[in-house]
Protein backbone atom coordinates (compact mmCIF):
# COMPACT_ATOMS: atom_id res chain seq x y z
CA UNK A 1 0.00 0.00 0.00
CA UNK A 2 2.77 2.44 0.83
CA UNK A 3 4.55 1.50 -2.37
CA UNK A 4 1.48 2.33 -4.47
CA UNK A 5 1.14 5.71 -2.78
CA UNK A 6 4.77 6.52 -3.51
CA UNK A 7 4.37 5.64 -7.20
CA UNK A 8 1.16 7.66 -7.43
CA UNK A 9 2.80 10.66 -5.76
CA UNK A 10 5.75 10.47 -8.18
CA UNK A 11 3.44 10.34 -11.18
CA UNK A 12 1.48 13.30 -9.81
CA UNK A 13 4.68 15.33 -9.39
CA UNK A 14 5.78 14.55 -12.97
CA UNK A 15 2.35 15.46 -14.32
CA UNK A 16 2.28 18.75 -12.43
CA UNK A 17 5.80 19.58 -13.68
CA UNK A 18 4.76 18.97 -17.28
CA UNK A 19 1.63 21.06 -16.84
CA UNK A 20 3.69 23.89 -15.30
CA UNK A 21 6.20 23.77 -18.18
CA UNK A 22 3.39 23.84 -20.74
CA UNK A 23 1.83 26.73 -18.89
CA UNK A 24 5.07 28.74 -18.95
CA UNK A 25 5.58 28.03 -22.67
CA UNK A 26 1.98 28.98 -23.48
CA UNK A 27 2.30 32.22 -21.52
CA UNK A 28 5.52 33.11 -23.39
CA UNK A 29 3.89 32.44 -26.74
CA UNK A 30 0.84 34.47 -25.76
CA UNK A 31 3.01 37.40 -24.68
CA UNK A 32 4.92 37.24 -27.98
CA UNK A 33 1.69 37.10 -29.96
CA UNK A 34 0.25 39.98 -27.95
CA UNK A 35 3.34 42.09 -28.69
CA UNK A 36 3.15 41.34 -32.40
CA UNK A 37 -0.59 42.06 -32.36
CA UNK A 38 -0.03 45.43 -30.72
CA UNK A 39 2.62 46.34 -33.31
CA UNK A 40 0.27 45.37 -36.16
CA UNK A 41 -2.57 47.30 -34.58
CA UNK A 42 -0.35 50.38 -34.26
CA UNK A 43 0.72 50.19 -37.90
CA UNK A 44 -2.88 49.66 -38.94
CA UNK A 45 -4.02 52.73 -37.00
CA UNK A 46 -1.20 54.82 -38.58
CA UNK A 47 -2.11 53.60 -42.07
CA UNK A 48 -5.78 54.23 -41.38
CA UNK A 49 -4.96 57.75 -40.21
CA UNK A 50 -2.99 58.36 -43.41
CA UNK A 51 -5.93 57.26 -45.56
CA UNK A 52 -8.41 59.30 -43.53
CA UNK A 53 -6.18 62.41 -43.51
CA UNK A 54 -6.29 65.12 -46.14
CA UNK A 55 -4.56 64.17 -49.36
CA UNK A 56 -2.42 67.35 -49.64
CA UNK A 57 -1.37 69.48 -47.97
CA UNK A 58 -1.32 68.04 -44.53
CA UNK A 59 0.91 68.69 -41.57
CA UNK A 60 2.59 65.30 -41.90
CA UNK A 61 3.26 65.69 -45.63
CA UNK A 62 4.57 69.22 -45.19
CA UNK A 63 7.02 68.11 -42.52
CA UNK A 64 8.18 65.19 -44.67
CA UNK A 65 8.76 67.48 -47.66
CA UNK A 66 10.63 70.00 -45.52
CA UNK A 67 12.91 67.23 -44.25
CA UNK A 68 13.57 66.07 -47.83
CA UNK A 69 14.41 69.61 -48.92
CA UNK A 70 16.79 70.03 -45.99
CA UNK A 71 18.63 66.82 -46.86
CA UNK A 72 18.85 67.79 -50.54
CA UNK A 73 20.31 71.18 -49.62
CA UNK A 74 22.92 69.52 -47.42
CA UNK A 75 23.84 67.12 -50.23
CA UNK A 76 24.07 69.98 -52.72
CA UNK A 77 26.29 71.96 -50.38
CA UNK A 78 28.66 69.01 -49.97
CA UNK A 79 28.77 68.50 -53.75
CA UNK A 80 29.49 72.19 -54.40
CA UNK A 81 32.28 72.16 -51.83
CA UNK A 82 33.87 69.16 -53.55
CA UNK A 83 33.49 70.80 -56.97
CA UNK A 84 34.99 74.10 -55.80
CA UNK A 85 38.02 72.20 -54.51
CA UNK A 86 38.71 71.11 -58.13
CA UNK A 87 37.98 74.48 -59.68
CA UNK A 88 40.57 76.17 -61.86
CA UNK A 89 41.30 79.41 -59.99
CA UNK A 90 40.22 82.63 -61.71
CA UNK A 91 42.52 85.55 -60.86
CA UNK A 92 40.98 88.85 -59.89
CA UNK A 93 44.02 91.15 -59.62
CA UNK A 94 46.07 90.31 -62.73
CA UNK A 95 46.56 93.05 -65.29
CA UNK A 96 47.13 92.62 -69.01
CA UNK A 97 50.81 93.54 -68.74
CA UNK A 98 51.35 91.03 -65.92
CA UNK A 99 49.66 88.33 -68.01
CA UNK A 100 51.89 89.09 -71.02
CA UNK A 101 55.04 88.95 -68.90
CA UNK A 102 53.92 85.74 -67.17
CA UNK A 103 53.07 84.13 -70.51
CA UNK A 104 56.46 84.97 -72.03
CA UNK A 105 58.37 83.77 -68.96
CA UNK A 106 56.36 80.55 -68.82
CA UNK A 107 56.84 79.87 -72.54
CA UNK A 108 60.61 80.32 -72.28
CA UNK A 109 60.76 78.15 -69.16
CA UNK A 110 58.76 75.30 -70.70
CA UNK A 111 60.72 75.34 -73.97
CA UNK A 112 64.00 75.33 -72.08
CA UNK A 113 62.95 72.49 -69.76
CA UNK A 114 61.56 70.29 -72.56
CA UNK A 115 63.13 66.82 -72.26
CA UNK A 116 65.11 65.11 -75.01
CA UNK A 117 63.26 62.02 -76.24
CA UNK A 118 64.86 59.64 -78.73
CA UNK A 119 67.67 62.09 -79.37
CA UNK A 120 65.44 65.08 -80.15
CA UNK A 121 64.01 67.88 -78.05
CA UNK A 122 60.32 67.27 -77.51
CA UNK A 123 59.28 70.89 -78.09
CA UNK A 124 60.32 73.25 -80.91
CA UNK A 125 62.06 76.51 -79.95
CA UNK A 126 59.26 78.69 -81.38
CA UNK A 127 56.32 76.92 -79.71
CA UNK A 128 53.49 79.31 -78.76
CA UNK A 129 51.24 77.05 -76.59
CA UNK A 130 48.12 78.20 -78.44
CA UNK A 131 48.70 81.88 -77.59
CA UNK A 132 49.96 83.00 -81.01
CA UNK A 133 48.14 86.30 -80.63
CA UNK A 134 50.30 87.20 -77.64
CA UNK A 135 53.57 85.40 -78.48
CA UNK A 136 53.83 85.82 -82.24
CA UNK A 137 55.84 88.26 -84.29
CA UNK A 138 53.48 91.13 -83.48
CA UNK A 139 51.98 90.42 -80.03
CA UNK A 140 48.85 92.26 -78.93
CA UNK A 141 47.72 93.18 -75.45
CA UNK A 142 44.51 91.52 -74.24
CA UNK A 143 41.61 93.46 -72.83
CA UNK A 144 41.22 93.67 -69.08
CA UNK A 145 37.96 91.68 -69.07
CA UNK A 146 39.66 88.89 -71.05
CA UNK A 147 42.61 88.44 -68.69
CA UNK A 148 40.92 86.18 -66.05
CA UNK A 149 39.87 83.56 -68.57
CA UNK A 150 43.20 83.80 -70.39
CA UNK A 151 44.99 83.09 -67.13
CA UNK A 152 42.69 80.12 -66.55
CA UNK A 153 43.57 78.77 -69.98
CA UNK A 154 47.26 79.36 -69.33
CA UNK A 155 47.07 77.39 -66.07
CA UNK A 156 45.43 74.44 -67.83
CA UNK A 157 47.87 74.56 -70.77
CA UNK A 158 50.82 74.59 -68.37
CA UNK A 159 49.45 71.52 -66.58
CA UNK A 160 48.89 69.71 -69.89
CA UNK A 161 52.45 70.45 -71.03
CA UNK A 162 53.86 69.15 -67.75
CA UNK A 163 51.91 65.92 -68.14
CA UNK A 164 53.11 65.46 -71.73
CA UNK A 165 56.71 66.01 -70.63
CA UNK A 166 56.31 63.55 -67.75
CA UNK A 167 54.72 60.91 -70.00
CA UNK A 168 57.61 61.18 -72.47
CA UNK A 169 55.99 62.25 -75.75
CA UNK A 170 58.39 62.42 -78.68
CA UNK A 171 57.25 65.78 -80.07
CA UNK A 172 54.63 68.30 -78.97
CA UNK A 173 53.13 69.49 -82.25
CA UNK A 174 50.42 71.97 -81.27
CA UNK A 175 48.03 73.04 -78.53
CA UNK A 176 44.65 74.53 -79.40
CA UNK A 177 42.51 76.58 -77.04
CA UNK A 178 39.13 78.25 -77.38
CA UNK A 179 39.44 81.72 -78.86
CA UNK A 180 36.91 83.83 -77.01
CA UNK A 181 38.50 87.25 -77.47
CA UNK A 182 36.43 90.04 -78.99
CA UNK A 183 36.47 90.07 -82.77
CA UNK A 184 37.82 86.52 -83.05
CA UNK A 185 36.19 83.43 -84.54
CA UNK A 186 35.55 80.53 -82.13
CA UNK A 187 38.45 78.48 -83.51
CA UNK A 188 42.14 78.28 -82.69
CA UNK A 189 44.64 80.71 -84.11
CA UNK A 190 47.13 78.08 -85.22
CA UNK A 191 44.46 75.74 -86.47
CA UNK A 192 44.47 76.89 -90.09
CA UNK A 193 48.20 76.36 -90.50
CA UNK A 194 48.15 73.04 -88.72
CA UNK A 195 45.19 71.66 -90.65
CA UNK A 196 46.59 72.90 -93.93
CA UNK A 197 49.97 71.35 -93.25
CA UNK A 198 48.39 68.08 -92.26
CA UNK A 199 46.29 68.10 -95.40
CA UNK A 200 49.37 68.52 -97.59
CA UNK A 201 51.15 65.70 -95.83
CA UNK A 202 48.08 63.52 -96.20
CA UNK A 203 47.92 64.10 -99.93
CA UNK A 204 51.57 63.14 -100.26
CA UNK A 205 51.45 60.15 -97.97
CA UNK A 206 47.96 59.01 -98.79
CA UNK A 207 47.45 57.34 -95.41
CA UNK A 208 44.99 58.90 -92.99
CA UNK A 209 44.14 61.81 -95.26
CA UNK A 210 40.42 61.90 -94.52
CA UNK A 211 40.85 61.90 -90.74
CA UNK A 212 43.53 64.58 -90.82
CA UNK A 213 41.67 66.92 -93.13
CA UNK A 214 38.65 66.80 -90.83
CA UNK A 215 40.53 67.61 -87.63
CA UNK A 216 39.96 71.34 -87.90
CA UNK A 217 36.24 70.97 -88.64
CA UNK A 218 35.71 68.63 -85.71
CA UNK A 219 37.50 70.94 -83.30
CA UNK A 220 35.65 74.02 -84.57
CA UNK A 221 32.31 72.27 -84.10
CA UNK A 222 33.14 71.22 -80.56
CA UNK A 223 34.17 74.78 -79.67
CA UNK A 224 31.02 76.27 -81.14
CA UNK A 225 28.93 74.19 -78.72
CA UNK A 226 30.76 75.13 -75.53
CA UNK A 227 29.40 73.75 -72.27
CA UNK A 228 27.86 76.33 -69.97
CA UNK A 229 25.28 75.81 -67.19
CA UNK A 230 24.30 77.51 -63.96
CA UNK A 231 26.53 75.23 -61.88
CA UNK A 232 29.58 74.59 -64.05
CA UNK A 233 31.30 75.45 -67.30
CA UNK A 234 33.96 73.77 -69.41
CA UNK A 235 36.79 75.00 -71.60
CA UNK A 236 37.82 72.95 -74.60
CA UNK A 237 41.41 72.17 -75.51
CA UNK A 238 43.08 70.10 -78.21
CA UNK A 239 46.63 68.78 -78.00
CA UNK A 240 48.53 67.17 -80.86
CA UNK A 241 51.78 65.29 -80.39
CA UNK A 242 53.88 62.37 -81.61
CA UNK A 243 54.34 59.44 -79.24
CA UNK A 244 54.50 55.69 -79.09
CA UNK A 245 51.63 53.51 -77.92
CA UNK A 246 52.83 53.05 -74.35
CA UNK A 247 53.42 56.78 -73.94
CA UNK A 248 49.89 57.53 -75.16
CA UNK A 249 48.38 55.22 -72.55
CA UNK A 250 50.56 56.79 -69.85
CA UNK A 251 49.45 60.29 -70.86
CA UNK A 252 45.75 59.34 -70.75
CA UNK A 253 46.23 57.94 -67.26
CA UNK A 254 47.99 61.12 -66.18
CA UNK A 255 45.16 63.27 -67.54
CA UNK A 256 42.70 61.20 -65.51
CA UNK A 257 44.74 61.89 -62.35
CA UNK A 258 44.93 65.67 -62.80
CA UNK A 259 43.67 67.80 -59.92
CA UNK A 260 41.28 69.46 -62.39
CA UNK A 261 38.19 67.65 -63.66
CA UNK A 262 39.28 66.64 -67.18
CA UNK A 263 37.08 64.72 -69.62
CA UNK A 264 38.72 63.32 -72.77
CA UNK A 265 36.10 63.66 -75.50
CA UNK A 266 38.01 62.29 -78.50
CA UNK A 267 41.31 60.61 -79.36
CA UNK A 268 42.45 60.44 -82.98
CA UNK A 269 45.67 58.78 -84.06
CA UNK A 270 47.43 57.29 -87.04
CA UNK A 271 50.80 55.64 -87.53
CA UNK A 272 53.65 57.73 -88.85
CA UNK A 273 55.49 54.81 -90.44
CA UNK A 274 55.40 51.12 -91.34
CA UNK A 275 55.13 48.47 -88.66
CA UNK A 276 58.24 46.65 -89.93
CA UNK A 277 61.12 48.29 -91.75
CA UNK A 278 61.97 46.66 -95.09
CA UNK A 279 65.32 44.80 -94.75
CA UNK A 280 66.36 45.56 -98.33
CA UNK A 281 66.11 49.30 -97.70
CA UNK A 282 68.25 48.94 -94.59
CA UNK A 283 70.95 47.04 -96.44
CA UNK A 284 70.99 49.49 -99.34
CA UNK A 285 71.25 52.38 -96.89
CA UNK A 286 74.16 50.86 -94.93
CA UNK A 287 75.97 49.29 -97.92
CA UNK A 288 79.52 50.57 -98.68
CA UNK A 289 79.98 52.73 -101.74
CA UNK A 290 82.26 51.44 -104.51
CA UNK A 291 83.39 54.87 -105.74
CA UNK A 292 85.47 55.46 -102.60
CA UNK A 293 87.07 52.04 -102.36
CA UNK A 294 87.70 51.32 -106.00
CA UNK A 295 86.92 48.05 -107.68
CA UNK A 296 87.05 46.03 -104.46
CA UNK A 297 84.58 48.30 -102.75
CA UNK A 298 82.24 48.01 -105.71
CA UNK A 299 82.39 44.22 -105.54
CA UNK A 300 81.63 44.31 -101.80
CA UNK A 301 78.72 46.61 -102.46
CA UNK A 302 77.28 44.28 -105.10
CA UNK A 303 77.76 41.28 -102.82
CA UNK A 304 76.04 43.04 -99.91
CA UNK A 305 73.09 43.98 -102.12
CA UNK A 306 72.81 40.42 -103.43
CA UNK A 307 73.07 39.03 -99.90
CA UNK A 308 70.33 41.28 -98.51
CA UNK A 309 67.89 39.24 -96.38
CA UNK A 310 64.37 38.72 -97.60
CA UNK A 311 61.12 38.85 -95.69
CA UNK A 312 60.24 35.63 -93.89
CA UNK A 313 57.49 33.46 -95.33
CA UNK A 314 56.43 32.30 -91.86
CA UNK A 315 53.10 33.55 -90.49
CA UNK A 316 53.25 36.44 -87.97
CA UNK A 317 52.50 34.11 -85.05
CA UNK A 318 55.76 32.21 -85.72
CA UNK A 319 58.01 35.27 -86.04
CA UNK A 320 59.94 36.79 -83.15
CA UNK A 321 60.17 40.57 -83.51
CA UNK A 322 61.07 43.31 -81.04
CA UNK A 323 62.41 46.82 -80.98
CA UNK A 324 61.24 50.24 -82.20
CA UNK A 325 60.79 49.04 -85.79
CA UNK A 326 57.53 47.26 -84.90
CA UNK A 327 56.21 50.15 -82.78
CA UNK A 328 56.19 53.22 -85.06
CA UNK A 329 55.36 56.62 -83.55
CA UNK A 330 51.76 57.76 -83.59
CA UNK A 331 50.45 61.16 -84.60
CA UNK A 332 47.86 61.72 -81.84
CA UNK A 333 45.23 64.41 -81.34
CA UNK A 334 43.38 64.49 -78.01
CA UNK A 335 40.28 66.61 -77.49
CA UNK A 336 39.43 67.32 -73.85
CA UNK A 337 37.14 69.48 -71.73
CA UNK A 338 38.38 71.00 -68.49
CA UNK A 339 35.45 71.77 -66.19
CA UNK A 340 35.42 74.85 -64.01
CA UNK A 341 32.91 74.50 -61.22
CA UNK A 342 31.26 77.55 -59.75
CA UNK A 343 28.72 77.95 -56.96
CA UNK A 344 25.29 78.88 -58.22
CA UNK A 345 24.19 82.32 -57.03
CA UNK A 346 21.36 82.20 -54.55
CA UNK A 347 18.09 83.68 -55.68
CA UNK A 348 17.27 86.93 -53.94
Neighbouring residues of 295: CB distance < 8 A, sequence distance ≥ 6? none
Q: What's residue 64's pLDDT?
A: 85
Q: How many CB atoms lie within 10 A of CB 36?
A: 10
Looking at residue 344, its pLDDT comes to 52
What are residue 191's phi and psi, to 5 degrees?
-70, -40
Length of the chain in terms of residues written: 348
Same domain, 39 and 143: no
Helix orientation angle between 215-224 and 191-205, rounded to the nearest 10 degrees: 150
pLDDT of 282: 47
Cα–Cα distance measured from residue 87 to residue 104, given in angstroms and rounded to the nearest whole number: 25
Distance CA 64, CA 231 (A): 27
What is the span of the domain harbouring residue 223? 92-275+325-341
Question: d(Cα 60, Cα 304) in Å, to the nearest integer?
Answer: 96
Shared domain check, 189 and 65 = no
CA 175 – CA 191 distance, rounded (Å): 9
- The pLDDT assigned to 110 comes to 93
Same domain, 154 and 246: yes
Q: CB-based burial of residue 158 (10 Å sphere; 0-12 exposed, 13-18 middle, 19+ buried)?
A: middle
Residue 319 domain flag = no
Structure confidence at residue 93 (pLDDT): 81
From 43, 62, 84, the end of a domain falls on: 84
Residues 216 and 115 occupy one common structural domain = yes
Residue 316 inside a domain? The answer is no
* Backbone angle region of 58, left / alpha / beta, with phi > 0 → left and psi within -120 to 50 → alpha: beta
Give the whole-angstrom CA distance, residue 336 versus residue 163.
14
Whether 71 and 143 share a structural domain: no
Q: What is the pLDDT at residue 237?
A: 94
CB atoms within 10 A of CB 50: 11
Whether 113 and 146 share a structural domain: yes
| End residue of a domain, out of 84, 111, 141 | 84
User: Are residue 57 and residue 179 in the same domain, yes or no?
Assistant: no
- Please give the pLDDT value at position 323: 53
Examine the domain organization and report whether 213 and 103 are in the same domain.
yes
Same structural domain, 160 and 106: yes
Q: How many domains does the chain contain in total? A: 2
**Are 144 and 266 in the same domain?**
yes
**Domain boundary pick from 60, 84, 108:** 84
Q: How many CB atoms are closer than 10 A to CB 288?
A: 13
Does residue 96 sit in the same domain as residue 38? no
CATH of the domain at 179: 3.30.70.60
Residue 69: the pLDDT is 93
Same domain as 123, residue 151: yes
DSSP 228: B
pLDDT by residue for the chain (348 residues), tens digit each? 578 888 888 888 888 999 999 999 998 999 999 999 999 999 998 888 877 777 667 777 788 889 999 999 999 888 877 777 777 777 778 888 899 999 999 999 999 999 999 889 999 999 999 998 898 777 888 888 888 889 989 999 999 999 999 999 999 999 999 888 876 654 444 433 343 333 333 333 333 333 333 444 434 333 434 555 555 678 899 999 999 888 999 999 999 988 888 889 999 999 887 766 555 544 444 545 544 444 444 444 444 444 545 555 656 555 555 555 566 789 999 999 988 776 554 443
Q: Confirm whether 268 is domain-assigned.
A: yes
Amino acid sequence: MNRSKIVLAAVAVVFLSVVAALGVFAHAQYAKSAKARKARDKEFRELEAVFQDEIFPSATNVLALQENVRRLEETRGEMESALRAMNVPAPTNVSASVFMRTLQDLAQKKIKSAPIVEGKKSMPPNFTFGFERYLGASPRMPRENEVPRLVQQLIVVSALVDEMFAAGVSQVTSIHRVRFEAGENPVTESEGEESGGRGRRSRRGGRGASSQEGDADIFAGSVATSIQTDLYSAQHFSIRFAARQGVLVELLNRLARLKYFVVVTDVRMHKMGLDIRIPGALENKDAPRGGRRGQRGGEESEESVDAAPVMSDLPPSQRLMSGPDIDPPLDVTIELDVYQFEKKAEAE
